[in-house]
Amino acid sequence: MELINVSSTKRVQCIDITDKVSRLVNDMGWEEGALVLFVPHTTAGITINEGADPAVHRDVEESLTKLIPYRAAYHHLEGNSDAHIKTTLTGNSALVILENGRLRLGTWQAIFFCEYDGPRSRKVWVQYLISR
């Protein structure tokens, strides 16, 4: 298992980590198979979505904030229930196919780390699965 470090600067923030993942694949010499990307945090997630237009992830951030507001009548006493709920919606893992040492993403796709309780320093665990 390998590790990617991610630092957020805002409370809710989608951070494109596609280049970090690609560099890791290149550095490790991984060629064929798949990657499991796993976020070991309960208030952050990961998703694959459009990366060409920054307005898309801004829309995601703003829409999740409207749907699940920071301050509401939550029962969790720590004050970050909204972050836990947002993480439940995006999930904490993604699977990406590797072919010829490259991520097999669609034309407009990018990998986003989703911070919901920042700013913080976080981790993404990366497990390489070899194709046989």
Question: CB neighbours of 18 closer than 8 A, spacing ≥ 6?
Answer: 51, 103, 105, 110, 111
Q: Is 83 helix (H, G, I), strand (E, B) or coil?
A: helix
Query: Over the chain, what is the mean pLDDT?
Result: 97
User: CATH number of the domain at 2-130, please?
Assistant: 2.60.120.460
Report pLDDT for 108.
97
pLDDT surpasses 90 at 79: yes
pLDDT surpasses 90 at 34: yes
> Residue 74: how many CA atoms within 13 Å on its side-chain side?
15
- Per-residue pLDDT tens digits for 35-78: 999 999 999 999 999 999 999 999 999 999 999 999 999 999 89
Q: What type of residue sits at position 63?
A: S
